[in-house]
Structure formats: structure tokens, C-alpha cells
Amino acid sequence: MVTPALVVGPAWLRTRVGWAGRAARALTTGLSALALAVGALAVVPAPARAEDVITTQEYFSYYHLDTARAKGYTGKGVTIALIDGPVDTSAPELKGANITDKSRCTIEGSGSGRSHGTAMASFLVAHDYGVAPDATLNVYQVSNKSSISAGSCETGGQKLDTFAELINRAIDDGAQVISISQGVPDRDDNLKWAVARAMSRGVIIIASVGNEGSDSNDTHLSQWSGMVGVSAIKSDGSFADYSSWGNGVTTAAIGEPFTRRDYETGQNETTTGTSNSTAITSGMLALARQKWPDATANQILQVLTHTGLNPNHEWNKYTGYGAISISDLLNTDPSQYPDENPLAQKRGGSSPTPEEVQDYGDGLADPDELPTDTSYAYRGTDEFLLRDPDTKATIHLGTSPRYHRK
């Protein structure tokens, strides 16, 4: 269904966001959910046949991605993880792309779920219009309310495709950037510690903020610490009326119009939504990781927040620090910024806390709270864990680096 139009935010904000859009065009010229449930993108059927190959997207020229490619910025050497619906790797748009389905189980996906997952993959790595066409893309199937069933991902009451499980698997598989255009996350300690692990290991997670046209911070992954929450703007730089907002927003990118394959109708269709914005933001951060291989993830995030296109890069709950500028991401040396995560605590408080992230890094988190993290080693002094038959983590008593810091 088409998201109804509504006026979002005060007039001064709409004016300011419009300024950001105009500035984005000027700055990028030089270089030249699911509700987000799958299918919650606003969809407008287009007069196209399914066999028609999609060869271009408007965002490609908007962000001057041809110039980025000419300079060699294609995501080569970077691994992106996509957590979404099933991806049809046989889609002609994805021919030649380096995509591997790393799912440990298989959901019974719907046509809308396959449409969404395949679209997100194509926006990332399609040869003709992908933001990072030479990146390695690992995809992970996740079930949601649009799925026909959880398939083999739910056995004996155990769900194998939770966000915590999939984030940990993506980290295990070497992801540097994780893109998630999904909503309504499971809110538990497993997810908290998976996010803490990503922050500790320097893995950037990008998440959509939703298409409810309201403050939806509490129902989307963007609420978590360290997450790059992405809202949507229109091609004229104004805030999109369907985009949600809230304390979890970090940046914004255009969310319309995008073309994707519809596996339910057999046609190509035009879509709008923060899912789209999230995919291209993920691709841009992959390009930044390629350009600045010696920079830490924290420093890349520092660049993102210091170059957002809001006036003076000031934060607001609609566009975060401002619309993303690909030219600034690729031309601003991250080494000038401290190795500190600027999203470690979001406005209003967020989880995990900086202390919890540090506990994870130092091996002092309770291993019983990390059942999906098979890499974790406890390095504290609780001897009971050696005798606890339910503790599956590796135990190295008294070896935490915290004990040796001055």
C-alpha cells in the first residue's frame, strides 16, 4: 500500500533538511522494515515485465557513483553482511556479483520477502547500479511476519535466525559492515551482547528506522548503541513523509524512487522506504572502509557524524547528524578523529552501555548471557564457572587485560 502523506516535523526542520539536500548535490559533485517488515515498503506498480533487466537507479546519478567507480571506489576487499529475506542470486541484476548465502538454516520465504531481500542485495552489489559492486556480500535469511514459515530455522522451539544469532554469525564470517532493513527486534540480552561484540570488534551495523511516519525508536534496531540508524529523504532533500524518526537516527539517505523485482506480481515495481536508504548507506560505508583501510570503525563513524549535511552537523531526531555525503566520507581523513565510537550512547540512553561494551572486550561479561557467541572467552575471576556444567564458553581465569592496565 502507498504510505499516506503527512507533514513531519516543524517548518524550520523541513527547511533545514531541504538545505541539506541541496548541499548534498553540491558537495557530491566534486566526487562525483518490516515496518520495516518485508513488503512494508510503499509499493507503486510500474509498467514493466519481470524479464526486463533493471539497469539503472536514480540514486546512482544523485550520488555521482560513476565518479566513485572511476576513482576505484567499488567496495573491493570489503565484506558486507545482509540480514534480510531470501536473495535470488539468479536475478540478472546480480550476475557476476560475489554473493554467498551463509544462512545456517532456511526459512520458507514469501514472494514479498524474496522481493525485499533481492532488492537490498542489488542496491549493494549489482554490477550496473550497486553502490559497492566489488564487495563480498554474505546474505543471511531471517524470518518475519511476512514469511510463510520459519522453515528449518525453528526446531524444537529454538529459533536459529534471531538477530543475535545472525549478527554473531556475520561477525564470525568476517563481516565489516552489516546491513539490516528489518524492524521489531527481539529485545533481550542475547541481542545486547551481540551488539556489544560488534562494537568491540569494529563491525559497523546499519539499520533502518522504519516507515511508520512516527517516532518508532522503540521498535527498530536503530535504537541500540553503536547502530547507524538511517531515515529517508526525498531527492529534493526534504524529509520523506513515510520515514520514521527518533533518538536512534544517525543519518539519512534518499529512499525513493527505487526499482525492484516483485516476485509476487511478476512485474518490476517502484518502491520507497528507509530500507532503500539503509542499503545505500551500507554501501557507502563499505566504500569508506575500502578507501581508509587503516582507520578504525570508530573513526569511520566519526567522519560520518562530523560530515552529515545538517547545518554545523547538528543532530536532530529526523535526520540525525544530517544526510550522508559520499564525497566527505571518501575525502575526509579519519585519522584526525579519536578512536571513540560517537554512537556509544544515544540520546535518551541506549543499550549496551559503554561499560558493557568494555566488559565484553575485557572478557568480563557473564558468559551465560552470551549463548549465541561461540567465540567468547571469559577472563574474569569467577571460579564457579569452571564447575558450572551449563557454561559453554571458554574459561581463562584471571587473564582479563583490565587487570594489567595502568
Q: Which of 227, 22, 257 is nearest to 129 (CA)?
A: 257
Preceding amide of 185 cis, omega within 30? no
> DSSP strand E in 315-363: where?
none
> DSSP strand E in 258-347: where?
258-261, 268-272
Contact 47, 82 (CB under 8 A): no
Task: Give me the residue label for grid cell 506498480.
Answer: 45
pLDDT tens string 128-157: 999 999 999 999 998 877 777 778 888 877
Helix, strand counts (H, E) of the chain? 11, 14
Contact 224, 178 (CB under 8 A): no
pLDDT tens string 265-321: 889 999 999 999 999 999 999 999 999 999 999 999 999 999 999 999 999 999 999
Average per-residue pLDDT for the chain = 86
Give residue 308's pLDDT: 96
pLDDT tens string 3-51: 333 333 433 343 334 444 444 443 344 443 333 333 334 444 444 344 5
- Domains in the chain, ordered, with CATH? 11-336 (3.40.50.200), 362-404 (no CATH)
Give residue 51's pLDDT: 56
CA-derived radius of gyration, the chain: 20
- Single-letter amino acid code for the residue at 47: P
pLDDT tens string 50-64: 458 999 999 999 999
**3-state secondary structure (DSSP) of residue 215:** strand
- Single-letter amino acid code for the residue at 177: V
- Single-letter amino acid code for the residue at 142: V
pLDDT tens string 349-404: 999 999 999 999 999 999 988 887 889 999 999 998 888 888 878 999 999 999 98
